[in-house]
Structure 1
Amino acid sequence: MNDFIKAIVDSKDVANVRDTFLQATQQAGFAHAFYAGRFSLSVPRSIMRDVPVTFNNLPADLLEQNEGLYGINRDAWVEWVLQNDGDINAAQLIAQVGADRTPSLAMAARNGMQAVQLLSLRNIVTHSVGAIMLVPGRDLDEDHLAQLWERHGADMWLLARTVHMRVATLPRDHGITTLTSRQREVLGWRSAGKTVSEIGTILGITPATVEKHMRLAREALGVDTTPQAVLKAHVTDQLFHPAYYPMTMHLPSG
């Protein structure tokens, strides 16, 4: 497990985290696994609509029959993750709330995957929530799951926390239009407290042109005000991100 943890910590992108996570869970005896994480929950949804990060190796036939498996907001397992810490198995959750309130788990059971362990990652990373499903495989019962969890539960929790924390630090798809380099410059200097006139002087353009780039940035980001544009550009890693700036460029400072 230490090698898997190190590989996740050293991962440069979400795809590598995914591959390592799925390999580690399979080695521990869980044939199928699913991860979902949502971040930037402290930012108003009117400003920031962060796209959830999800990956899994669930059977294709199950996904085809239930395309919304990891997007059913009414499903009680999602509610449980949002309101609780720790872990619970599907049988326990269904006993608490009823099968009619857990359609995705009921669907899994009808496909021979009644043994499912659910992990809540609600308080692992600030302003985020996450969930993991672990499934031993088809036609394996709760006793088999209990034995697996007894042997590997502690390792799975370490793996789950590491995955969620690493994904939180990696570039993610925010589902928005990328700003132009000039729009990033203008917003960057505005975030540093510079006026429109000062930004024009710094960049060698007219105040009217500065205003135009601010307007275009607001439109691209889908916000109403320049402060909202600055906030959204920052939380979507479009301001002061090394990928957008030459090494010789001086970023805005106080």
Structure 2
Amino acid sequence: MTLRDYLFYLTNAPSLEDLWSAHTQKMAEFGFDRLIYGFTRYRTETSLGDPEDFIVLTNHSRDYIRGFMDEGRYFHAPMTQWALNNEGACSWQVIQQMFKSDKMSKEELKVYEFNSRFDVTAGYTVSFKSVSGRSKGAISLAAKPGLTQAEVDKIWKKSGEDIQLMNNIAHLKILTLPYSTPTRSLTKRQREALEWVGDGKTTQDIALLMGLTSATVEKHLRLAREALAVETTAQAVLKAALHNQMFVMEA
């Protein structure tokens, strides 16, 4: 598949599952067989927001993700910190340089040792251009076990611009597709009620439009707020919209 054909497929992917399956396969052709994509819209000076609100896509092993994401090591990873303060692509050679020069903090060293146990030692990180001060996205491209960073740098010298372009397009496409987690997903009725609120309808209006009682509409809105972990219906509408869960076309 040519670069043009791949980008055409990528921009027309109907779901995150289809996009991610194709993208992981394409990156593996260049030697990057384990990826983590992450995006947040809730960044502050001291936090990246609630991990439940992150968009996270990965094909790493469950054991690795449990230790890296679930146990919070990602926040102290040197390349995460680089991505938060930079845009573009960066070789993991900087990690090796930090280790050799004894410039790693205690927490960074723990991440380095953890990654070494899983052969996550060579690769590149691509940090995407932020659309606001509170948003940030990046992707970690870990090379196949056995590849040295010097070999990976040669791959990047030859094909890095194409690889970065494909990841930039994948990132932009991901931002257009619906995303939910088991604890942040909405039912069809909850989504419909929020959509009518977004259209400026009152509870009484929504009850007539949906053929329900006002009490039932209020119940759907309350459950939507709980599912999205927000306090007000306005916040629920905003969060659902940010995660592209509003006005979803049913299959």
Coarse TM-score class (shorter-chain normalised) = 0.7 to 0.9
Query: How does the TM-score come out when normalised to structure 1?
Result: 0.73
TM-superposed CA distance for 1:229, in Å, is 2.7
In 2, distance between residues paired with 1:31 and 1:217?
Answer: 39
Structure 1 residue aligned with 2:88, among 86, 105, 110? 86
TM-superposed CA distance for 1:66, in Å, is 7.2
Could you say what secondary structure the match of 1:172 adopts?
coil
- Residue 168 (str. 1) matches residue 175 (str. 2): yes
Judge conservation of contact 2:176–2:244 (CA < 8 Å) in 1: no
Distance 1:242 1:145, change over 3 A: closer
Identity of aligned residues (%): 26
Distance 1:82 1:211, change over 3 A: same
Q: Which stretch of structure 1 is more off in the superposition, 234-243 or 108-117?
A: 108-117
Judge conservation of contact 1:38–1:128 (CA < 8 Å) in 2: yes
In 1, distance between residues paired with 2:17 and 2:212?
Answer: 41
Q: What does 1:143-162 align with in structure 2 at a 5 Å threshold? A: 143-162=150-169
Question: What's the counterpart of residue 232 of structure 2?
Answer: 225
Question: What's the counterpart of residue 52 of structure 1?
Answer: 55
Judge conservation of contact 1:188–1:240 (CA < 8 Å) in 2: yes
In 1, distance between residues paired with 2:193 and 2:118?
Answer: 54
TM-superposed CA distance for 1:180, in Å, is 4.6
Judge conservation of contact 1:200–1:207 (CA < 8 Å) in 2: yes
Could you say what secondary structure the match of 2:126 adopts?
strand
Larger Rg, first or second structure (1 or 2): 1
Post-superposition Cα deviations, 1:222-253, rounded to whole Å, max 9, x if no partner, equal 33222223223333444322229xxxxxxxxx
Judge conservation of contact 1:51–1:173 (CA < 8 Å) in 2: no
Distance 1:187 1:65, change over 3 A: closer
In 2, distance between residues paired with 1:173 and 1:149?
Answer: 33
Question: What's the counterpart of residue 132 of structure 1?
Answer: 140
Structure 2 gap segments, 5+ residues each:
none
Judge conservation of contact 1:32–1:134 (CA < 8 Å) in 2: yes
Question: What's the counterpart of residue 20 of structure 2?
Answer: 18
Distance 1:102 1:88, change over 3 A: farther
Post-superposition Cα deviations, 1:65-105, rounded to whole Å, max 9, x if no partner, equal 67423552122221111111122222323424438515444
How many residues get paired? 235
Question: What's the counterpart of residue 247 of structure 1?
Answer: none
TM-superposed CA distance for 1:172, in Å, is 1.8
Structure 1 gap segments, 5+ residues each:
245-254
Q: Which stretch of structure 1 is more off in the superposition, 11-20 or 145-154?
A: 11-20
Computed over aligned residues only, the root mean square deviation of the Cα atoms, in angstroms, reads 3.4
TM-superposed CA distance for 1:133, in Å, is 1.8
